[in-house]
Amino acid sequence: MYVHVPFCASKCDYCAFATWTDRSELAERYLAAVRRHVAVEVAAGLPLATSVFVGGGTPSLVDPVLLAAVIRSIPVAPGAEITVECNPDDVDTDLLERYLEAGVTRVSLGVQSMVDRVLASLGRRHDRRNVERAVAAIRSVGVPTFNLDLIYGGAGETLDDWRTTLDAVVALEPPHVSAYALTVEAGTPLALDPARHPDDDDQADKYELADAVLTGAGLANYEVSNWARPGHECRHNLLYWRQGEYLGVGCAAHSHRDGRRWWNLRTPERYVAAVEAGTSTEAAGERLDAESRRIEALQLAVRTRDGVPIDALDPDEVPGLVTERDGRWVLTPSGRLLANEVAVRLR
């Protein structure tokens, strides 16, 4: 299950997600609506969740008691992974203890950079010291695992800046790191400022550096943008990459079941109104035919270390981008840089 919390203290310049900085007065009603939505799904026979991911937005911005109540309302399978995304500024031991009491097993910390100047250029409001303090708090209360999320390619970020970020992150000994190339999304402040758009060659250099540093620190790449120590892979994201089934609750949240995808009303006001009125929260949906599902499954799988079956790809069409491992094609480090080029040649 995915739970969307759309509230933020400020909007990052690159963010195109369904988030708002001026609706905090809705938070209590919104979280109550999410609980009610969950209850309706449970009454309709919702299976136990093997993973729960609370994302946003900034889930750590809302009252942790209310968020804990949402998490507790979700029926989960034994050993389920329960993740909450957090902003470093919001993290303290009191908040984390509330999460732990609700069953949270994983914290996803939005770090982005460990260079304050780069953080400012991305429109982020925290600094490096808050990241270090947040990680210390996560460890002190005994959260079973956590991941640090990074973004590279921001305006003014040099290769040395990125190395500083990687070295500082590795020094924190995280069990999982995600490193994403900055992308330009329509309608964002970043999109309106071409001078700040990332450079492909620069991002390729930074990806190669990330792979070298993180692999050297004992974190194995298991998806193009994700590295983890054994046993600390994000099970929720693995479900997405394996084309599994999931239910999204909250505004704009997406769901997938039996080849049908749908998404909820985008704004928190409309979502709350629909739940309170007992009407559908669905905004729209689509059903994939069998062939579309098959190709999509391959396109997701090729990004992971498990790769795709031998008959799914002609390696001569992508020289140097894949290698055979255990009877399957997997991306080489160069192939990870050109994963989309490989994906369009799957058959």
Please tell me the total count of domains within the chain. 2
Same structural domain for residues 185 and 300?
no
Question: pLDDT confidence of 122, banded at 50, 70, 90?
Answer: confident
Same structural domain for residues 230 and 318?
no
Query: Can you give the pTM of this predicted structure?
Result: 0.95
Residue 273, pLDDT score: 98
Cβ pair 158, 195 in contact under 8 A: no
Same structural domain for residues 195 and 313?
no
Same structural domain for residues 195 and 136?
yes
Task: Determine what percent of the chain is predicted with pLDDT higher than 70.
Answer: 100
Residue 127, pLDDT score: 86
Mean pLDDT of 155-160: 94
Can you list the positions of beta strands (E) in 265-327?
282-287, 308-309, 322-325
User: Does the pLDDT value for residue 123 go beyond 90?
Assistant: no
Of 226, 241, 256, which marks where a domain is finished? 241
Mean pLDDT of 232-239: 98
Mean pLDDT of 278-306: 96
Mean pLDDT of 74-94: 97
Same structural domain for residues 74 and 223?
yes
Same structural domain for residues 67 and 163?
yes
CATH assignment of the domain containing 48:
3.20.20.70
Any domain includes 254: no
State the Cα–Cα distance between residues 287 and 154, nearest whole angstrom: 37
Pick from 103, 99, 209, 102: nearest CA to 153? 209
Same structural domain for residues 127 and 206?
yes
Any domain includes 130: yes
Average pLDDT over the chain reads 96
Inter-residue long-range contacts of 331-334, CB under 8 Å, 24+ positions, other chains counted = 331/224, 331/302, 331/303, 331/307, 333/208, 333/211
State the Cα–Cα distance between residues 169 and 161, nearest whole angstrom: 12
Mean pLDDT of 298-310: 97
Cβ neighbours around 176 below 10 Å, total = 21
Lowest mean pLDDT: which of 70-84, 116-130, 182-196, 283-297? 116-130
Residue 11, pLDDT score: 86
Question: pLDDT confidence of 16, banded at 50, 70, 90?
Answer: confident
Lowest mean pLDDT: which of 12-21, 212-221, 306-315? 12-21
According to DSSP, residue 8 is labeled -
Same structural domain for residues 154 and 217?
yes
Residue 112, pLDDT score: 96
Question: pLDDT confidence of 125, banded at 50, 70, 90?
Answer: confident
According to DSSP, residue 195 is labeled G
Domain containing 331 equals 291-343
Of 178, 207, 241, which marks where a domain is finished? 241
Q: Is 72 exposed, middle or buried (0-12, 13-18, 19+ CB in 10 A)?
A: middle
Structure tokens at 15: 């963010």
State the Cα–Cα distance between residues 158 and 69, nearest whole angstrom: 43
Backbone angles phi, psi at 159, to 5 degrees: -65, -35
Residue 121, pLDDT score: 85
